[in-house]
Chains A and B, each alone.
Chain A
């Protein structure tokens, strides 16, 4: 049983078909890179996985559990939707840090609110103890993550005081705070100056481990080739070709992929 399985995703905007019957699966700990020219539906796919928009048809399973079924998801309550959504994390091209919070505040905002809700469901006498413990745990987790992305000395800075590369590293740490099963990246380096992409890519590479599963939409072919376990090439809303980096980059079959690669690599 695959860790993440997507079956027959379709998405229409008005009469445009943006996703045509997308199906794929990945195993736990794998890194999937999605490449393809702009407009091919990569962002839409990630947004569907993160419940920012719902596919018009299709199903999605995480660890065998069905967490999205286009037939029924429209009827889910906000609470149920949130639970499903928390299987995923998403790092945006434009960072989307919260400008009025410090770096540490950005990391702690959502998990602290979530903790409060969890604690509110406990018996009365346990609440304050669990809240104190939970808050302390979150803080040490935040500090550990900041160290991991190399920003432990900027915990008190506001986003406007950071470089693009630093912002994106904060965004990665923020997404990791919710311990998603699958972390998605939508062109995490496309909004960065070329000299800053390296620091972000090396953080992402450093996250690769047996229990972190990642889906990375990227234009960085070297990164896809070296870090991904599996590569999907999308064109016009379909998976035109899928395979290992070796297969995709060294032995491309589809004409579209060959054309895309010769453009991307020169």
Chain B
């Protein structure tokens, strides 16, 4: 296989990596915020439920969660590879595995993000809430108009770290049959006895993480117009 052919094949795999990465980020960021609000809720049962869930997810390996999500339905309902039998997948195994992996990633990352958000929200001085309240603003208005952007600014660095980790973590999806870039390279290695395509995948991650980091640096610059109190 030529360098060009390998590159094409790896790009196809990296497309899957990207899809998994972007969808996870887009879904886990808001879901994490929801979890964070739940874990700070005044309703005790809700607070305990969310905190317990986050504790379990953060305390167990992502690998295990991937297996539970993809194999769990089969074990529970008695059919092997049950995911592919679900109506919504129309027998499309690739899609089924991808969605299973996506679900596990979203839940896992939402839990990590929620802890970051929670710390960020707790660190905003109470006076910011009170200043909004005495001006007659509603709690939700205060949160979305005043608190949230300050939280975002204060947690940009840890979110950036998690995001870079996510780029690399997507490679775990191969364990549940998602053909992401490393799996794609591995297949070439298996078929053609070539080792270098595996190393070559590293370049994809490096370049992409360079872009991710650049995005965060840009965001940080844009938010540097103000300083937190």
Contacts and interface: CB of A to CB of B under 8 A. Distances in A.
Q: Is the interface of B mostly helix, strand, loop or mixed?
A: helix
Interface string B124-138: 010110111111111
A80 to B, nearest CB: 12
Interface string B116-151: 000000000101101111111111010001100110
A120 interface: no
A90 interface: yes
Nearest to B127: A96
Nearest to A171: B131
Given A92-B131, A99-B150, A160 B136 contact: no
B145 A52 contact: no
A110 B138 contact: no
B134 A90 contact: yes
A85 B146 contact: no
A110 B128 contact: no
A167 to B, nearest CB: 10
Given A50-B134, A160-B226, A160-B227, A96 B128 contact: yes
A96 B131 contact: yes
From B125, B226, B228, name the one whose CB has the most chain A CB atoms within 10 angstroms.
Answer: B226
A96 B130 contact: yes
Interface string B37-80: 00000000000000000000000000000000000000000000
A113 interface: yes
B5 interface: no
A59 interface: no
Interface residues of B, number: 24
B149 to A, nearest CB: 5
Nearest to B229: A99
Interface residues of A, number: 30
Contacts of B221: none
A89 interface: yes
Given A109-B145, A110-B132, A96 B138 contact: no
Given A99-B227, A159-B229, A160-B226, A52 B141 contact: no
A24 interface: no
Contact of A100 (B135, B137, B149): B149
Contacts of A159: 226, 229
Interface string A49-60: 011100000000
A98 B142 CA distance: 10
Contact of A96 (B153, B225, B228, B229): B229
A97 interface: yes
Contacts of B132: 98, 110
B128 A85 contact: no
B146 A98 contact: yes
Contacts of B228: 99
Contacts of A78: 138-139
Given A94-B127, A98-B146, A100-B150, A52 B226 contact: no
A174 interface: yes
Interface string A79-104: 00010011011101011111110000
A252 to B, nearest CB: 33
B133 A52 contact: yes
Given A96-B131, A109-B145, 17 more contacts: A78-B138, A78-B139, A85-B133, A96-B128, A96-B130, A96-B229, A98-B131, A99-B150, A99-B226, A100-B149, A100-B150, A100-B226, A111-B135, A158-B226, A160-B226, A175-B134, A178-B135
